[in-house]
Amino acid sequence: MKLQMIGCSHHDAAVEFREKISFTTEQAGKALEKFRKQFPSSEIVLLSTCNRVELYTTSHDDSAVDRESVTKFIADQHHLDHDAVIDQMIYRHGNEAVEHLFTVASSLDSMVVGEAQILSQVKQAYDLACTWDSVGPLTHGVFQAANRAAKRVQHETDIHKRRVSVPSVAVGEVATEIFDRLSDKRIVLCGAGEMGQETLRYLKGAGANDICVLNRSHERAVKVAKSFDASCDQWDTLDQQMLNTDLVIGTTSATEPILDLETFQAVHARRGHRLLLILDLAIPRDFDPRIGELSNVYLYGIDDLKKACERNQREREQEWPKAKQIIAEETSKCVKALHHRATGPVIQRLREQAHDLKREELDRLINKLQLAEIDSSAVKEIEKSFDRLINKLLHPPLSSVRDDAAEGHSKGLLEALRHLFNLGD
């Protein structure tokens, strides 16, 4: 039995195609159930995120679960043409499939290398497969090993520690450098789009709990604020909000600044000497850059933050060789364990077969020579001789099979052993 991966990601397929073949959690559960009914002897884990759709399945050498059958299964689930699907899919099997999974789980294959979310997504995919009973010994072993590999990369490299997105740098490096903590700071977030929501996630993660969301569409502000346990207010209250805020963040798509210098000067005069941090994450800019020249005002624009992102990205790339070495080590360790595990049942059957033959021949010998009435210690010595003979006969071939297992069964000795001794599958 071997592992294979069939799927696509942001590296090789457009988002329009990935959207067509993606699975919600509910759809994934139903797909796992259907797959097991269609291929009852196979195992499957389905990983579906915004950037990738990958099916990890097991198959025997003569199994019908191959690239064609799996891509046809995916196409059928989404009522798509099979040829159109298979042209977009990549295929990995054996060692390559294991290494690919470890690379994905460790976030080395992500759009943003080092992002932490993918490991939890891999765990969720595995847990869902466990729930639907679509995993087995091979997928259990490989996905647990993938988690260990990812943890090693996290703990032994700095690839996850350098922030590379603008909101993460803005909150995690700039805001936390200006303020000792965010838990007691008043924060106003302008904009409730994708950038605003990502910024909210980092703010909540940093301990902020007094956040007010402003958006031109108040309905959207209410919805986003509720999902992040924040407050919201009308868009035209920005001036008033800034009187008592410590941190204001701009993430809107406005074509003109939402706050000009003249308007802010009136606010600034009423703030006294209270420090204000402005993080302008918008393009075009939300705040007149001249505001940053006023006393007690720290204004960081998108260019400042992008430079930090680029610096952190370069530092992450320096960690890449170390991370890849960990992946290589863990892949080799996992593959060796899988190969040795595959030899176990065959060796066990061979030893059981030899033991049964020994017992038959020993009983026949005792009955024929009428040895039952002699000293039992003599019978035990005869049995020991049989055991030694079996061990001496089996030792060379079993040692060769174990050595071959360590090399990935490259010589095919395990399969030969099955056929020579008629051990079955």
- Summarised one tens digit per residue, pLDDT across range 347-399 is 777 777 878 888 888 888 877 776 556 667 777 888 888 888 888 887 787 77
> Is a pLDDT exceeding 90 seen at residue 173?
no
Pick the CATH number of 2-162 from 2.40.30.10, 3.30.460.30, 2.70.98.10, 3.30.360.10: 3.30.460.30
- Residue 213 half-sphere exposure, CB side, CA atoms within 13 Å? 30
Give the pLDDT band (50/70/90) at residue 1. low
CA-based Rg of the chain, rounded to a whole angstrom?
32
Q: Where are the domains of the chain?
A: 2-162, 166-309, 340-420
Residue with more model confidence, 102 or 174: 102
pLDDT at 371: 58
**Per the structure block, which two tokens stand in for 295?**
């006393």
In terms of C-beta density within 10 A (0-12 exposed, 13-18 middle, 19 or more buried), how is residue 229 classed?
A: exposed
> Is a pLDDT exceeding 80 seen at residue 194?
yes
Give start and end residues of each alpha helix (H) in 186-231.
194-205, 218-227
Which segments within 52-163 are labelled E, that is strand?
52-59, 90-93
* Average pLDDT value for residue range 291-299: 95
> Is a pLDDT exceeding 70 seen at residue 164?
no
Distance separating alpha carbons of residues 5 and 7, to the nearest angstrom:
7
* 212 C-beta neighbours (distance < 10 Å), count: 20
> Is a pLDDT exceeding 70 seen at residue 197?
yes
Is the four-CA dihedral 386, 387, 391, 392 of positive or negative sign? negative
- Summarised one tens digit per residue, pLDDT across range 34-58 is 999 999 989 999 999 888 999 999 9
* Average pLDDT value for residue range 148-168: 85
Q: Residues 147, 321, 49, CA angle at the centre, nearest 5°?
A: 40
Catalytic-labelled residue, pool 50, 130, 190, 309: 50
pLDDT at 396: 82
Of 318, 4, 294, 286, give the one whose Cα is nearest residue 157.
Answer: 318
Q: 166-309 adopts what CATH topology?
A: Rossmann fold (3.40.50)
Question: In the annotation, is 50 catalytic?
Answer: yes
pTM value?
Answer: 0.64
pLDDT at 306: 81
- Summarised one tens digit per residue, pLDDT across range 306-333 is 887 777 777 777 888 999 999 999 998 8
Share above pLDDT 90 across residues of the chain, in percent, rounded to a whole number: 55
Q: Which of 405-414's residues contact partners 24+ apart within 8 Å by CB, and which partners?
A: 405/336, 405/339, 405/340, 405/342, 405/343, 406/336, 406/339, 406/340, 408/94, 408/95, 408/335, 408/339, 409/339, 409/342, 414/342, 414/343, 414/346
pLDDT at 344: 63
Give the pLDDT band (50/70/90) at residue 409. low
